[in-house]
């Protein structure tokens, strides 16, 4: 797809100035004339198409803050989209997230701005791999992280998120589970339960590059630095962290810091290091500007394939539609539904 440069006119400025006023502490003024024409055109097309734009936490600020209707973790995006009356969903994330949105919203048209937006973790395992694991461990439930393809979900007993994985593994009431595909998330879950975990050696190319030495190096200059890490990071990173949790969990942790959490005796002057994708800290800092973020982040090249021009093209041409074969969708949806059923169960 060729990128078409749109002019920044007086009328575009008048139309988008209210948007810029909300994001001027995040997006430099000098960049706004580049973004504003696409922002205006996308908002007009959203109304015409009865569309909503979902943006994962790892999206760039100009998507996350100016055109997205729903932002958050991948599963939360899909669930919130189901509450809308939209006919069209544009998923600004990666392909497996669009598939999840389609599973939860089967009657809606789901589009991705770039078909090449994949995921190293999702691509680390196939449906055939899951079937072979079942043969090797007969009768052992397959617990699958939502960061997987629909075909892999269809071969699974239940899906999990990084936030509810421990709860669901324990709720199954079995001595052993196959946990796919992230090896480091599996090790984290194993550290929190007595259930035996059979892991797969899949990794996220963003999180696997962090090291415990990175954390110690940043703490040398500031021992009070607060470190938040995603459980997809290696175990030595998690061992150095003050908090381990999902992207949503990290956001909630920062919110407590911004409000002043008496249990930590810190407030809005906190300095935070997020061991996750670059745009996560950018987007959270936009909500809590008085919290200072240290950014030794790693970039996800797949997430960054999404741009405002591509979002506009997606709505103009209704490309690229994500579809799932009915039988695969039925089985994959059941694995997601089982997760929701377990998540609604009261905890001891």
Residues forming CATH 3.40.50.10800 domain(s) in the chain:
10-118+302-317, 122-204+325-344, 207-294
Q: What does the pLDDT look like over 214-229, one tens digit per residue? A: 999 999 988 889 999 9
User: What is the Cα–Cα distance from 146 to 248, expressed in whole angstroms?
Assistant: 15
pLDDT more than 90, % of the chain: 80
**Residue 144: beta bridge partners?**
159, 180
DSSP assignment string, 169-199: HHHT--SEEEEESBHHHHHHHHHT-SSEEEE
DSSP assignment string, 204-224: -TTGGG--HHHHHHHHHH-TT
CATH number (1.20.120.1200, 3.40.50.10800, 3.30.540.10, 3.40.50.1000) of 122-204+325-344 reads 3.40.50.10800
Q: What does the pLDDT look like over 127-171, one tens digit per residue? A: 999 999 999 999 999 999 999 999 999 999 999 999 999 999 999
Strands, E assignment, 34-83 = 51-56, 70-72
Superfamily covering domain 10-118+302-317 = NadA-like (3.40.50.10800)
Q: What does the pLDDT look like over 236-262, one tens digit per residue? A: 999 999 999 998 899 999 998 887 654
Tell me: pLDDT of 52 over 60. Answer: yes
Tell me: pLDDT of 263 over 50. Answer: no
Q: What does the pLDDT look like over 173-186, one tens digit per residue? A: 999 999 999 999 99
Q: What values do phi and psi take at 199, rounded to 5?
A: -105, 160
Give me the architecture of the 207-294 domain, per CATH.
3-Layer(aba) Sandwich (3.40)
**Model-level pTM?**
0.91
Residue 244 belongs to what H/E stretch?
strand 243-244
């Amino acid at each position: 797809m060729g990128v078409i440069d749109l002019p920044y006119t007086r009328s575009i400025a008048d139309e988008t100035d209210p948007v810029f006023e909300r994001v001027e502490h995040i997006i430099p003024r000098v960049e706004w004339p580049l973004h504003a024409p696409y922002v205006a055109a996308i908002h007009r097309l959203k109304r015409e198409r009865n569309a909503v734009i979902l943006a994962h936490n790892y999206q760039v600020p100009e998507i996350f803050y100016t055109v997205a209707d729903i932002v958050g973790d991948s599963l939360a995006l899909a669930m919130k989209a189901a509450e809308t009356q939209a006919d069209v969903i544009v998923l600004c994330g990666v392909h497996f997230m669009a598939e999840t949105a389609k599973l939860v919203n089967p009657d809606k048209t789901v589009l991705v701005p770039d078909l090449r937006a994949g995921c190293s973790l999702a691509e680390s395992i196939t449906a055939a791999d899951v079937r072979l694991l079942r043969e090797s461990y007969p009768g052992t439930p397959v617990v699958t992280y939502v960061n997987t393809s629909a075909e892999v979900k269809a071969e699974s007993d239940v899906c999990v998120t990084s936030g509810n994985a421990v709860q669901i593994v324990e709720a199954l009431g079995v001595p052993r589970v196959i946990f796919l595909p992230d090896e480091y998330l599996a090790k984290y879950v194993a550290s929190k339960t007595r259930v035996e975990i059979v892991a797969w050696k899949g990794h996220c190319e963003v999180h696997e590059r962090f090291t415990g030495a990175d954390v110690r190096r940043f703490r040398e200059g500031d021992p009070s630095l607060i470190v938040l890490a995603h459980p997809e990071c290696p175990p030595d990173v998690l061992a150095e962290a003050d908090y381990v949790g999902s992207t949503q969990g990290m956001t909630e942790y920062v919110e407590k810091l911004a409000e002043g959490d008496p249990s930590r005796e810190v407030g809005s002057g906190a300095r935070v290091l997020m061991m996750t994708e670059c745009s996560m800290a950018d987007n959270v800092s936009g909500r809590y500007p008085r919290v200072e973020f240290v950014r030794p982040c790693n970039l996800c090249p797949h997430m960054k394939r999404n741009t405002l021009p591509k979002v506009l093209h997606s709505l103009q041409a209704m490309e690229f539609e994500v579809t799932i074969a009915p039988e695969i969708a039925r089985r994959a949806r059941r694995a997601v539904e089982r997760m929701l059923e377990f998540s609604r169960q009261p905890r001891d």
